[in-house]
Amino acid sequence: MNEEKAVDKITLEVIDFIQKVIINEIGCLIYPNGNSGKEIQEQVSPFIKFLPIISSIEFLGACYDQFSFIEEGHSEDRFNVALKRLFKKEYLPFSKADNKFYFYEKLRCAMVHQLRPAKGIMFTTRFESKKDKTEHLKEDEKGNLILVLEDFYDDLIKSSKKIIDQFKNKKITNKKGEQAFIDIISY
């Protein structure tokens, strides 16, 4: 007779989700083997690693509003709110619809719906960027905006920690930080 092992579920509140999933789990994708950005190394499958970063931006923006996380029709506002309130000032121009690299349309929507950024946005890694002499959030000689995976993720981490602090210091008062958000299986 086979006994099935009981599955333990853990419910994560929003703050714990940000810590465990955005900071820790996505961090393991970007910086495998605990590298945490100290060493520049070649990335395995770097292109697809941009997608969870982009999705996380919209999620962080959703933490600010009064709507349910699953309520539709708020994606653009949420994505832009995160860029404006959480990311460093260099991201601000990309939160404006008249910008030629408007991130909501050219990055978020393009990646979510077509699994590629719109023309003019190029993905790279620190390893490649160092070789190519390109920089994160700067245009290359052809006028393409360069996004460096590790730099983009590091900025996401800073933004994630900033929103956690805002929840803990009661600067965000909508109580979303304390909401049960997701059930995960305990390993």
C-beta separation of 113 from 106 below 8 A: no
| Confidence (pLDDT) at 104 | 98
Average pLDDT, the chain: 91
* 14-71: pLDDT as tens digits: 999 999 999 999 999 999 876 666 677 888 899 999 999 999 999 999 999 999 999 9
| Confidence (pLDDT) at 40 | 78
Within a domain: 23: yes
Give the domain extent around 82: 9-38+45-117+151-175
Within a domain: 51: yes
Within a domain: 3: no
* Cα–Cα separations (whole angstroms), residue 103 to 71, 76, 86, 130: 21, 10, 15, 24
* Number of structural domains in the chain: 1
Within a domain: 97: yes
Within a domain: 70: yes
C-beta separation of 175 from 102 below 8 A: no
Within a domain: 142: no
Within a domain: 140: no
Within a domain: 131: no
pLDDT confidence tier of residue 1, bands split at 50, 70 and 90: very low
Q: What is the pTM of this model?
A: 0.91
pLDDT score of 8 more than 80: no
pLDDT score of 175 more than 80: yes
Provide the phi-psi class of 145: left if phi over 0, else alpha when psi is between -120 and 50, else beta: beta
Give the list of residues 6+ apart from residue 20 with CB closer than 8 angstroms, or none: 12
Mean pLDDT of 91-120: 97
